[in-house]
Each structure stands twice: as C-alpha cells, then as structure tokens.
C-alpha cells in the first residue's frame, strides 16, 4: 500500500510523517501519533520481557529488533 502520493511504500516513519497532509494531519500531529505508537510497542515488549524475566540484552536477542526493526528510523 502506498503511503504518499508518489507511491512511497518504504517502511520508514519519516514517510508517514511527510505524508501527513494526505491524512488531514499536520506534521506535528503525525509525529505525535508515530511517537505514541513507537513508545507503545517498546513498552509492550519491555513488559513482556519483564514477565518472563529477560534483561534488555536477552530481549534484543529474542526478537526485539524484529518487533521494532531499527530500519524504520532510517532517514533519507
């Protein structure tokens, strides 16, 4: 699914932020939504790790990088 009018489909947070006006949002609103989702995913992953007794290193080795792949933060 294309995110912007140019057909950009890359899994990058900045793509969604740049396309904010298409979705009737300001860039500030888009950034707030993005930041909320990222923090929600991180908190959920940390909570799951806490419940099974994993430290941060074990969480990363156990799929944390796949849950919130660092490439989504890459910028052009």
Q: Is the pTM of this model over 0.75?
A: yes
Q: What is the pLDDT of residues 24-69, one digit of tens each?
A: 999 999 999 999 999 998 888 888 888 888 887 776 676 666 777 8
In the block, tokens 């007794």 appear at 53
Whole-angstrom distance, CA of residue 4 vs CA of residue 23: 10
- Residues 71 and 11: beta-carbon distance below 8 Å: yes
pLDDT at res. 40: 93
Q: Where are the domains of the chain?
A: 13-73
| Residues in Cβ contact with 61 at an 8 Å cutoff, skipping those fewer than 6 apart | none
Whole-angstrom distance, CA of residue 8 vs CA of residue 56: 33
- Residues 17 and 7: beta-carbon distance below 8 Å: no
Structural tokens at position 57: 């290193």
Q: What is the pLDDT of residues 10-32, one digit of tens each?
A: 989 999 999 999 999 999 999 99
């Amino acid at each position: 699914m294309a995110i912007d009018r140019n057909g950009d489909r890359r899994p990058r947070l900045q793509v969604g932020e740049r396309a904010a006006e298409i979705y009737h949002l300001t860039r500030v609103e888009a950034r707030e939504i993005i930041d909320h989702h990222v923090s929600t995913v991180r908190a959920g992953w940390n909570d799951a790790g806490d419940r099974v007794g994993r430290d941060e290193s074990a969480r990363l080795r156990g799929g944390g990088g796949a849950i919130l792949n660092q490439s989504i933060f890459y910028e052009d």
